């Protein structure tokens, strides 16, 4: 009986390992290559933080089924990039960057790691970061995108069958650079009243690389396919635009990003 129990435990452990290995492609991984901070992103995790969208004239983009669509330069990856995490369990954490928000400990993650590595490999300079901190300090509370008003237009005459129509206008702010763009979108909060400013990094499909480091060829995504995006000196304006987007998105993001940039500067002294 005991033997069966032990075998069962072993089997469960193995199944768990296999499952974890299968889901590994969903992880955002950040590594250093010569002169680039290389980010690995999943192409087919349609419910996760990285989605494939088709460009649209309104800038919001249309989500697509990546394995059923030939992905060319009209498509882009919309990445809800993070910058902090409450523990050190992720491969994209920077344990050296530790800060407190509302009396909870946070560690630098994703964007923080990209900035940390980009500074060490001279893709951006300490002066870039000092200038950014100065500019973030000068933003007035009324200027945060989260404080922009969301208009709801309610029509005066009721629509067909007694239903009354109303239209919400949700603001979106986009900064475009030659190798990608960053957006701030106001979204309804999921578990509270009000709106929150979400920051998305948008990477055109013709800017991403296959696993061998060559430009990814047009075509539908393969199952569990991952791609690379390289942050280099050539596109450092995108990295600075992402930092600035968080700085103008909300008071909380502004404070967090100032703390993170301060810590990154401290660790390189």
- Chain residues binding ligand ADE by CB under 6 A are 80-83, 198-199
Residues 6+ apart with CB under 8 A from 12: none
CB of 91 to ligand ADE, least distance (A): 17
CB of 241 to ligand ADE, least distance (A): 14
CB of 169 to ligand ADE, least distance (A): 20
Of 209, 181, 176, 232, the residue nearest 43 (C-alpha):
209
Between CA 6 and CA 127 the distance in angstroms is 59
CB of 235 to ligand ADE, least distance (A): 19
Cβ atoms 147, 140 nearer than 8 A: no
Closer to ligand ADE at the Cβ: 26 or 74?
26
Closer to ligand ADE at the Cβ: 146 or 230?
146
Between CA 232 and CA 64 the distance in angstroms is 28
Between CA 255 and CA 87 the distance in angstroms is 20
Closer to ligand ADE at the Cβ: 41 or 216?
41
Closer to ligand ADE at the Cβ: 82 or 262?
82
CA angle 130, 132, 135 (to 5 degrees): 110
CB of 190 to ligand ADE, least distance (A): 12
DSSP state of 163: P
Q: For ligand ADE, which residue has the nearest CB?
A: 199
Helices (H), 24-141: 111-120, 126-137
Token digits of residue 141: 């509370």
Between CA 76 and CA 176 the distance in angstroms is 13
Closer to ligand ADE at the Cβ: 111 or 205?
111
Closer to ligand ADE at the Cβ: 180 or 216?
180
CB of 21 to ligand ADE, least distance (A): 27
């Amino acid at each position: 009986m005991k033997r069966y129990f032990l075998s069962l435990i072993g089997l469960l452990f193995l199944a768990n390992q296999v499952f974890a290995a299968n889901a590994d492609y969903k992880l955002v991984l950040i590594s250093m290559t010569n002169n680039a901070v290389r980010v690995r992103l999943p192409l087919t995790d349609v419910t996760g933080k990285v989605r494939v969208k088709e460009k649209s004239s309104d800038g919001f983009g249309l989500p697509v089924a990546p394995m059923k669509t030939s992905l060319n330069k009209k498509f882009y990856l919309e990445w809800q990039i993070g910058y902090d995490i409450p523990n050190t369990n992720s491969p994209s954490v920077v344990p050296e960057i530790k800060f407190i928000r509302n009396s909870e400990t946070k560690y630098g993650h994703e964007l923080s790691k990209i900035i940390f590595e980009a500074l060490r490999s001279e893709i951006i300079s300490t002066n870039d970061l000092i200038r950014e901190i100065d500019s973030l300090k000068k933003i007035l509370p009324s200027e945060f995108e989260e404080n922009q008003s969301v208009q709801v237009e309610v029509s005066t005459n009721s629509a067909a069958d007694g239903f009354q129509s109303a239209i919400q206008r949700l603001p979106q702010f986009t900064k475009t650079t030659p190798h990608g763009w960053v957006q701030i979108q106001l979204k309804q909060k999921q578990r509270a009243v009000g709106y929150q400013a979400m920051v998305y990094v948008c990477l055109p499909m013709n800017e991403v690389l296959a696993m061998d480091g060559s430009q990814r060829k047009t075509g539908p995504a393969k199952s569990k396919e991952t791609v690379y995006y390289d942050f280099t000196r050539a596109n450092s304006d995108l990295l600075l635009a992402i930092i600035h987007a968080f700085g103008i998105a909300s008071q909380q993001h502004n404070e967090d990003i100032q703390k993170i940039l301060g810590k990154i500067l401290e660790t390189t002294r």
